[in-house]
Structure 1
Amino acid sequence: MPHTFRAPVDADLPTLLALNNDHALELSELTTEEFRELLKVAWRTRVADDLSAMVIAFDQDTARISQNFDWFKARYPRFAYVDRVVVAPSARGQGLARALYEDVIAAARAEGQTLLCAEVNLDPPNPASDALHTSMGFAPVGSAALAGRNKSVRYYVRPL
């Protein structure tokens, strides 16, 4: 059965914020206001109906300052960028992350985008995410230590 996703509504925000913050090591913890702002500026946000998974993506015109997003903006004139994708532990192994990526890919292609960008933690490592990105045709294009954080990331791109 294919997965279906929808845009979040206000009533979803507490559950989605908890999902994000439960995975702060991979994603970065946000306050309610920071999360609201992220959703407001996002180019595309989709959630599973039961709120067990979500994706937040930007395009090159998103009004957002972030070291990772800025890295891509400095190198590519036009792109879609997956800022975060997260799946609750109870929903893993069902293909939700891949399906959320496919949703973003379809939306990006519909807008004429030709490149999808993402990053994955190098330190602390996230081998499951590395494996997903590799299996979906992403190639590493760089890495960076994150300013003010004990974390480094690998940058990935894939043609659309």
Structure 2
Amino acid sequence: MLTPLSPASPSLELLRALNNDHAQELSFADAPRFAHLIAQAFFAAHIGTEAFLIAFDQDADYDSQNFLWFRQRFSKFVYVDRVVTAQAVRGRGHAAALYNALFAAARAAGHERVTCEINADPPNPGSEAFHSKFGFQEIGSALLPNGKTVRYYERRL
């Protein structure tokens, strides 16, 4: 069952552990950082302790280089900062349910685009395939100071 995620959610620490299990793809978050991300989110939801999604709109207080890349280019957008599904439950539709709820919330708020980045180096072919299925199109790329190369994507609503 899809549930809103807040800094006071009972499963917060388990979801943060899920995030940190995938830190290479998402980036590590200590407890204060994870709570800040959720507090700033335009949309934050989870399915049990198995999956979650955190997305920001253009007004978020967020310092991610990837988020700032979109802010420099678009006056209004929703940026998917992190989405993760536990390995044991992949293929059960959790990420699709989270994305469909995000798309509905973004449309209701008058947004025309949802954006994200996907690691190109190190590669993340599973994420590329998933986002392609949802109609995301590549619109740019960057080499980050940490050595990662990312591709930027957009899905028009």
Normalised by the length of structure 2, the TM-score is 0.95
Which residue type is aligned with residue 34 of structure 1?
R
Query: 1:1-160 to 2 correspondence within 5 Å?
Result: 4-8=1-5, 9-48=8-47, 50-147=48-145, 149-160=146-157
Q: Deviations over 1:110-131 (max 9, x none)?
A: 0110011011010110001001
Which residue type is aligned with residue 34 of structure 2?
F
Quick one: percent identity of the two aligned structures?
47
Which segments of 5 or more consecutive residues in structure 2 lack a partner in the other structure?
none
Q: Deviations over 1:52-91 (max 9, x none)?
A: 0000000011111110000000001111111100000111
Q: Deviations over 1:101-156 (max 9, x none)?
A: 11110000001100110110101100010011111111000111122x13111100
In 2, Cα distance between equivalents of 1:53 and 1:150: 27
- Structure 1 runs of 4+ aligned residues shifted over 3 Å read none
- SS of the equivalent of 1:11 reads coil
In 2, Cα distance between equivalents of 1:159 and 1:7: 24
In 1, Cα distance between equivalents of 2:9 and 2:98: 20
Shift of 1:10: 3.2
Normalised by the length of structure 1, the TM-score is 0.93
Which segments of 5 or more consecutive residues in structure 1 lack a partner in the other structure?
none
In 2, Cα distance between equivalents of 1:43 and 1:155: 19
